[in-house]
Amino acid sequence: MRESAQPIRYSGEASTQKAFAQSTKVNQPVKLALAQLNPIVGDLEGNAGLVKQATQEAAKRGADLLITPEMIISGYPPKDLLLRESFVQACDRAVEQLAKELAGTIAVLIGHPTHREAPEDRIANAASLLLNGEIVATTHKTLLPNYDVFDERRYFRPADNPTLIEFRGRKLGVHICEDAWWGEPDTAYHDDPCGQFDPVAYLVEKGAEVLINLSASPFEISKPDRRVGLLERHVKSHQRPFVFVNQVGGNDDLVFDGNGLVLNERGELVAQLAQFEPDLQVVDLDNPLNAEEPIDVHYEMDLLNALTLGLKDYMRKCSFKECVLGLSGGIDSALACYIAARAVGPENVHGLLMPSRYSSDHSVDDAMKLAENLGCDAQVIPIDEVHRAYERSVVIGEELTSDPAGLADQNLQARIRGAMVMVRSNRNGWIALATGNKSEIAVGYCTLYGDMAGGFAVLSDIFKRDVYSVSRYINEVVEQREVIPDNIINKAPSAELAPDQFDQDVLPPYPVLDAILEGLVENERSVESLSKEHPAETVRWVASRLDRNEFKRRQLSPGIKLSQRAFGSGRRFPMAARLDYS
């Protein structure tokens, strides 16, 4: 790959002076276009194409400046692509080329990684103003998050200070994602030498007339409300309009919900972009802006939209068009199947019904009814013949028949099913979906290479209680008909791997299990404190199972992160450990 030319220094005083040169008079009219875009990580040409399309549309609507999300050129998060030789140089060249191609149209404020102004060959997370075929100003991100899924100090060098960008005589307080989160409880920047000042307050002190935040802020339950509260506090403190533009779409285990917005100087919501889908809106800073009612947020709808978008984009961006999953007649596979049909169309979803000698007739009937309701392909493939072949095996047959329906036998049945799903996946190029929920995965009530087999774990970050509540919401509100059969929702859950088997024979009742797990996983509470609310023996059992099964979760397929403490990138625990639960 050809190395880029010697970078031109644009930040600081020189940057500001060049931006000033673009103005012919003070305070010219400015209409801002907010472009909520869905990039593919690493697809520099495709992502630049999204920006060009948005620029054309914004120009048609009379905008003067298009604002894009954080790191739109590379997509977020690019992770160790940033360490690959020449990747960041390629991003810089893509921005330079984009500036040339946009000459003669409106200005664009674009997010990207860069080597510009980054000493010692370090990388900066940047926002640049493109105008008249050139990069006329660049500012760098100041606060680099290093918590939860974020690892930005691995890659980036923080700016010493954020830099104002002037456009049409107006001083724009452009900053990037985390720069707006200074002082929030989860960030703890007060004790961090890299974050001893508030970038937003600094920009206002330097004369910012409007605050503009380019973000790639992943979705979590309740986070959209937290963002609004955060921006309202900035407006209340500084009496400046606030423009927030966020990425949308799924990238690996993260889902970005969009939810871009504009608050006027009184803190009133005057524009809000769509949830979970690309959008573009134009706002006129010079005319009085009328307040809007915020989009109504519903817990189950947010979960459903995030799950749908996460699966849809994972398949699309990994070039899968169809998927396959086991349909047991239980609630988890039913919800996973519905989400898949909603994400990629029922004609692209293939269900395998794999009854064993212990399966009930109603499970097969329920699964078939679900497939018919959705319009999905479904096929019944009994596993008993394969199961009996294992029992006749000279090597392991005696071990199975000496303990029929014991743990080894139950896991074998799950692995036979997993193998059948994977055969269909390999043969047809379909992605295999694992359907386990967070409650089961937390305590290891799942089988490696069995029901855990697959390329994507759709429900891995929602507890069993949410599986039920979302399923009911689908029937009652979204579809307003019985799509997921009532019998699936109402019957006692069972793996049906042994005679008369039910989940609650092994696990605490799910309401109790989920409450304990929420305390242990989401809130990091102690066994002692939770034992004041639940039976101590039950809490110790759950805590022990949670920690002992980290090895299973380490081998889990990627899923969709919906909480701060999702298994995988959101929660990191040792596998080889000895802990005291007394």
Active site residues: 70, 141, 177
Chain-centroid distance of CA 430 in Å reads 22
Angle at 195 between CA 193 and CA 201, to 5 degrees: 145
- Using alpha carbons only, give the angle 162, 163, 169 rounded to the nearest 5 degrees: 145
Which of 219, 216, 225, 276 has the alpha carbon at shortest distance from 246? 216
Residues in CB range of 406: below 8 A, 6 or more apart: none
Q: How many residues does the chain have?
A: 582
Between the alpha carbon of residue 535 and those of residues 144, 321, 531, the distances in Å are 42, 47, 6
Q: How many helices (H) and strands (E) would you count in the chain?
A: 18, 19
How many other CB atoms sit within 10 Å of the CB of residue 486?
12
Identify the CA nearest to 53 among candidates 68, 42, 64: 68
Amino acid letter, 389: A
Within a 10 A sphere around the Cβ of 551, how many other Cβ atoms?
12
What span, in angstroms and rounded, lies between the C-alpha atoms of 59 and 282?
10
Measured in degrees and rounded to the nearest 5, phi and psi for residue 122 equal -80, 165
Using alpha carbons only, give the angle 343, 346, 352 rounded to the nearest 5 degrees: 110
d(CA 348, CA 440): 27
b (16+ CB within 10 A) / e for 126-147: bbbbbbeebbbbbbbbbbbbee
Beta strands in 347-492 (DSSP E): 349-353, 377-380, 431-434, 456-457
Amino acid at 110: I
Q: Which of 211, 226, 245, 231 is nearest to 39 (CA)?
A: 245
Token readout for 521 is: 């996983």
